Every structure is written in structure tokens, then in C-alpha cells.
Amino acid sequence: MHSGADIKEFGGQMSGPPLIPMIHAIEAASKPVVAAIEGIALGGGLELALGCHYRIAHSKARVGLPEVTLGLLPGAGGSQRLPRLIGVPAALDLITTGRHVTAAEALKFGLVDQITDHNTVNVAVKFAQRVADQPLDARRISTYPCLCPSDVAVLFEEVMQRVRRTARGAIAPIACVQAVRAAATLPYNQGMERERELMATLFTSGQARALQYFFFAQRAVGRWSMPSGARWDTSKPRPVHKAAVIGLGTMGRGITVALAQAGFSVVAVETQEKQLMEAKQAISGMLERGAKRRGVAPALDKINYGRNIQSVADVDLVIEAVFEDMALKKKVFQQLSAVCKPSTFLCSNTSGLDIDQLACQTRNPELVVGMHFFAPAHVMKLLEVVYGPKSSPLAVATAMQLGKKIGKVSVAVGNCRGFVGNRMLKPYLEQALFLLEEGATPEFVDQVLEEFGFAMGVFRMSDLSGLDVGWKVRMADGLAMPDPTTGQPTRLRQGRRYSPLGDLLCEQGRFGQKTGRGWYQYDKPGSQVAKPDPWLHSFLDEYRARHALVAHRIDHQEVLERCLYSMINEGFRILEDGIAAGPEDIDVIYVFGYSWPRHHGGPMFYAATVGLNKVLERLEHYYQAHPDVPSLQPCHLLRKLVASGSPPIQKWREVIKKVRSQL
């Protein structure tokens, strides 16, 4: 097993002998060297094997060149040898995606010479004895010509365009293509030189540092802790065999699919007949498509459908996914508490409501936690596991483990409005609306955010998910309504600046893609091609005139700083309040749940990269200009971190602890 270079060493001194000369020495050896690959051979591990004359892999082995996911390229000859061995198209696929391949697939590519179910080393020794007297000239990969299709220039052009489109500003995938192009067009030695130059550029880039931070952040969130002191290593989960999902709307369907695909028996309950019929059909379709992709049988028989909540009596864990309405959810929790075994965990897929209020409806409030999935729930990797003041470590550990079993990256967070993800989204969305009021257009704001690396800008995203969802919440909160004295939409609510722009669009029936109109216009309802809408531009002009707002030129920097720094500021408040245990939790939530570009590490890592003093100074600047926007007021923890000399992100927890103990 060899997982490549030690990522922890990247920032400092590397230990051990330099890899490239060692691989060259192996390749140049006059005796045959056979690599026996067991477990995994990734990165430098596979590069070492590529320097050998033969490769034998165990059938359960996995190989790959995942450097691109760390912001690097295979820098020990991998980018030059792999295309020479398996051809340019297959090498481009493996190197630009970093995906792991099974031994069977590796054999198909010609990446390994033989696979075995037996002891790999024994088989490799026998193999070596068999080939001992064979000439080695034809086994040194660096001497192979690089086989390319005749239209190699066209191929690279196409690949480069595709990679640029999907990289969202990440530089490593592009450098990977350039390195493979060097293998295809230059002699080996010159190709190695090009690999070295490209690697040197990547190695010192902020993106590589961000991605390496993220590698460890992803693993750190599994080591969760609660303010009570409960921790991942002292809290044992209880096994879950049978689960239930209540409410089969979009979220409930996705959750049911995720559970069934992972092998859980699921009782899926929907009280409305028509919705139940539609859900059955949709769920079966999702399971069949997923199974076809993975080449397995669809897990249709794992699900029992029902219209009656009584049918969940014997399950170990319930996930409630009814409409986002507190009164309705409370009723469901009362029913569940009466119907289920006393030991059943009761979880809510709310995206921001108070978990404690739900827990209070039940006999065993310690068994209640939030399990906040992201749409589509069978695809999106993130799960926020939300503990309330009464939730037991057992319930948190069980929900975290269930999340892992269904392939999610689970992050344990505290209970507050919006939890971590949606709480931070609020100031971000709010700033985007204020920018429109002050003179920006949706397309400009989106362009800036997409150039930064988000898959979608805030307005395109809002059109996709539907403007009516937030509108209903704002109505329930008493925000989205005209001023009773004037009948006009006001720009000040509950003592702070408020933008009614989204509400005004909803009043016009502009709910986004589904109605064919939103912040953009679409050819027809449901279409995904967003086009700037002249109606919206004149609507904004009229709105500004009505409220005596003078449009000013808003530049790229202002959009980015106001949207991102207000969100980051909320992230610091979340840390200060103990809702997230550390910056890694926030960053993992943002990358997996909100398409934050991974090569920027996550919002909190990004703040550290920009410099905390700069973030503080710009927030102060904007808060001075907009004193009626509290989310721009720099929070105490940010000031404290700057006053402590802006320590590296790995040291923030110490400052957070001090700040919390003073509260």
C-alpha cells in the first residue's frame, strides 16, 4: 500500500530519498524489477510502479494519480510515463480527474500486466523468475514512443477547452493537460523538464495549499465534538438496520433513494395518495438509473411504501422530510413519538428550523437531531447533523455514522436559525440584492461570482431553486409584506436595511426557471438557459427611482468583497457562538453543499489567504458606508484574531476557545 508523497510535508522539508532519481535507477536496472501492488498505489506510489519493468496487482487493488485533487500534477515522471504506457486519451482521463481505478480496469488499460487473487508478492516473485532472462529494453516505459491519435493537436485543443470549462478557475487540471501534451510532443527528457517546471509553479501556488488544507479538513470533520465535551471517539453510535422517511416531496424522495442504495430497508410514508403514486414512480426511476450507471441491480425491494405513519412503528431511525412548516413538523414529531419504539431516533430534514422545538414534542428529546440534506439528496455529498441542547452524543454519533454509510460527508453543527450553511448564505444573498438596488445587474453579480469559481452565481442559483421558497419563509417571518402605512415595499425592516426585490418579483409570479421568468428570462418554463431580461432592467430602474436610489458604478472588487466578506463575517460569528467546532467544518459545508470552489479552500481558508486584517479593514469600510446593515459589522472573533497577529488557520481553535470562555 502506497498513498504517495506525505501531504503534511508539502509545506516544509521532504523526508526520504528524492523519488525521481530512485525511479530512474529502478528503470535503468539490468535485472527485472516487478512491482507487486496490493491495497492502493496512488500518486508517487504508482509512479514508482511505472518505473518498474512489470506490474502485478491484487484484484482488490486500486491505482491512480490523484495529484490534481491536491492542486498538483504527477511530478515524479507520472505525467510522462503513463501516456507512453496506456495512450494519451486514457492518461488524460486519469491524470486530469485524479480518479482511482480498480485492478480490472488497470489491466484493461494495460497499466498492469497481470492481476491475481492470491498473495501478490508470491505471484510477483514467480513472475520475475519467469521473465528473468527476457531482455528489458522493451520494458522501460520512458523509452516508449507516446502513441497519439493523428489529430493530436485537435485532441489537446478539445481537452483543454473541456478542462477549462469544468475547472472553474483551478489551475492544476490545465497544467496536467500541458504536461501530457509535453509527453505527446517532446522527447522524454524534455518532457520531464516541462513536468518539473509545471510542478514548481503549482507547488508554490495558493491553490495547492488550499486543496491540501481541504484534504485534511475533510478528514477533520469526522472527529466531531460538541460544546458539552462529547466527542467522536468517546460516543458510540447505535446500529441502524431499518429507517423511515416521512414525506415524499423532492427531498424525501432523494433521501429514500440514498438510504435504499446503501442497503437500508426503508419505510417511505406519504399521506397524500397522488403524491405517493408520483413519488413511487420517481424513486423507482432514480434507483434504476443509478443502478444502471453502477452496473448493479436496482434496490427497489428495499422500500416499503405506506400512507399511514403507523407503519414506521418498528424502525430504528426516522427522517422527517415534510414541508418546511414548524406547526406541521411539530405535529409529525408528536405522532412519531407516540408511534415509534422508545429507542427510535427521530431526525428532521429541516433546512433551518429550531431542532429543540421539535425535540420538545417527543418523549425522548435526547434522541432528536437534525439531518439536513441538500438537493438532490441522493447526489449531493453534504449532510449537516444538527444537535440541539437536548440531543445526546449517542444520537449525534448515530446520525453521523448513518451519513457516512450512505456516502455523505457529515458535519456536526449546533442549532440556530439556518444552522451553518444557510445562516451564512443569508448575508451573502442580502448583499447581492443590495448591490442590485445600488446599480448592479444580476448578470454582473453572477459573472463575478462565477469567475471566482462558484458553479452558479447567486441569481442563477436562486432562479434554479425557486424564488418562492424564500418568499414563503420571509412571509412567515413577517418580512415580506408592504408597509401598512404606505402600502409600499419598505427598505427598512425590524430596524435594519431590507431589500424587497425578491418579494416584488414573486408578487409578479416570477419564481425563476419553473415559471420561465425570475432574475433572468427563459425560453419556456423549465428551460435552463438564462438570458438577461430587459424587463428586469427597467424594473430595477423604476424601483431605484421610486426609492430615490442613485445607481453608481459597482466594480468587480465590490461585488466580491461585499458578498464574500459578509458571509465570512457570519462564519466567524458561528465559530464564536460554538455552532461550528472549527473553520474546517464551515469550509467542508461550503465546498460540498454550496459549490464553493475547492481550490479556494472554503470561505474561512479563503479569509486566511486574503489576510484577516484585510477582511477586517474592508468590512469596516463597508459597514461605515452601510451602517444599517449589521452583517457588515466585523465580529468580535475576527477582531480578536487580527489582534492576536492573524495566526494560521490551524491555530484558530485556541483563540476561539479563549473568546468563548470570555462570553
Ligand X SMILES: C[C@H](O)[C@H](C)C(=O)SCCNC(=O)CCNC(=O)[C@H](O)C(C)(C)COP(=O)([O-])OP(=O)([O-])OC[C@H]1O[C@@H](n2cnc3c(N)ncnc32)[C@H](O)[C@@H]1OP(=O)([O-])[O-]
Listed in sequence order, the DSSP H helices in 340-491 are 355-359, 393-405, 421-438, 442-452, 458-465, 467-476
Give the shortest CB-463-to-ligand X separation in angstroms: 36
- Within 13 Å and on the Cβ side, how many CA atoms surround 602? 26
C-beta closer to ligand X: residue 80 or 462: 80
Residue 4 touching ligand X (CB under 6 A): yes
Residue 634 touching ligand X (CB under 6 A): no
C-beta closer to ligand X: residue 67 or 503: 67
- Choosing from 33, 35, 36, 40, the residue that interacts with ligand X (CB under 6 A) is 40
Look at residues 27, 79, 77 and name the one whose alpha carbon lies nearest to residue 54: 27
Sole window of 74-82, 183-191, 616-624, 636-644 interacting with ligand X (rule: CB under 6 A):
74-82
Element containing residue 372 per DSSP (H, E): strand 368-373
CA–CA separation, 615 and 621 (whole Å): 10
Sole window of 41-49, 276-284, 504-512, 611-619 interacting with ligand X (rule: CB under 6 A):
41-49
Sole window of 65-73, 332-340, 376-384, 628-636 interacting with ligand X (rule: CB under 6 A):
65-73
Residue 304, SS3? strand
Element containing residue 496 per DSSP (H, E): strand 496-497
Residue 76 touching ligand X (CB under 6 A): yes
Give the shortest CB-79-to-ligand X separation in angstroms: 9
C-beta closer to ligand X: residue 66 or 247: 66
Say if residues 365 and 335 touch (Cβ distance below 8 Å): no
CA–CA separation, 380 and 258 (whole Å): 10
Size of the site for ligand X (CB under 6 A): 22
- Within 13 Å and on the Cβ side, how many CA atoms surround 48? 18
Residue 66 touching ligand X (CB under 6 A): yes
- Say how many C-beta atoms besides its own lie within 10 A of residue 305's C-beta: 17
- How does DSSP assign 74-99, residue by residue? -TTTHHHHHHHHH-HHHHHHHHHH--
Angle of helix 78-86 relative to helix 188-203, nearest 10 degrees, comes to 130
- Choosing from 32, 51, 71, 75, the residue that interacts with ligand X (CB under 6 A) is 75
Say if residues 480 and 500 touch (Cβ distance below 8 Å): yes
> Which residue is listed with cell 498505489?
41
Give the shortest CB-224-to-ligand X separation in angstroms: 13
Is residue 620 annotated as a catalytic residue, yes or no? no
> Which residue is listed with cell 435504499?
260
- Choosing from 27, 33, 35, 67, the residue that interacts with ligand X (CB under 6 A) is 67
C-beta closer to ligand X: residue 12 or 487: 12
Element containing residue 497 per DSSP (H, E): strand 496-497
Sole window of 68-76, 113-121, 416-424, 480-488 interacting with ligand X (rule: CB under 6 A):
68-76
Contact letters for ligand X, residues 208-227 (x by CB under 6 A): --------x--x--------
Residue 82 touching ligand X (CB under 6 A): no
**Sheet containing 34-37: order of strands:** 34-37, 54-58, 114-116
Residue 7 touching ligand X (CB under 6 A): yes
C-beta closer to ligand X: residue 9 or 151: 9
- Choosing from 23, 48, 72, 655, the residue that interacts with ligand X (CB under 6 A) is 72
- Say how many C-beta atoms besides its own lie within 10 A of residue 407's C-beta: 12
Give the shortest CB-51-to-ligand X separation in angstroms: 12
Kindly report the backbone phi and psi dihedral angles of residue 326, in degrees, each rounded to the nearest multiple of 5, phi listed first. Answer: -60, -45
- Of 27, 67, 324, 570, the active-site residue reads 67
> Which residue is listed with cell 493537460?
177
Residue 196 touching ligand X (CB under 6 A): no
Residue 636 touching ligand X (CB under 6 A): no
Residue 368 touching ligand X (CB under 6 A): no
C-beta closer to ligand X: residue 19 or 245: 19
- Of 38, 47, 324, 437, the active-site residue reads 47
Look at residues 5, 142, 160 and name the one whose alpha carbon lies nearest to residue 73: 5
C-beta closer to ligand X: residue 81 or 329: 81
C-beta closer to ligand X: residue 411 or 559: 411
CB contact set of 203 (below 8 Å; sequence gap of 6+): 10, 72, 75
Sole window of 25-33, 71-79, 525-533, 647-655 interacting with ligand X (rule: CB under 6 A):
71-79
Residue 500 touching ligand X (CB under 6 A): no
Residue 70 touching ligand X (CB under 6 A): yes
C-beta closer to ligand X: residue 72 or 86: 72
Give the C-alpha distances (Å, rounded to integers) separating 638 from 186, 425, 574, 580, 620: 51, 18, 11, 15, 11
Is residue 450 annotated as a catalytic residue, yes or no? no
Question: Looking at the annotation, which residues are catalytic?
Answer: 47, 67
Which residues of this protein are in contact with ligand X, per CB under 6 A? 3-8, 19, 40, 42-44, 47, 66-67, 70, 72, 74-76, 78, 216, 219
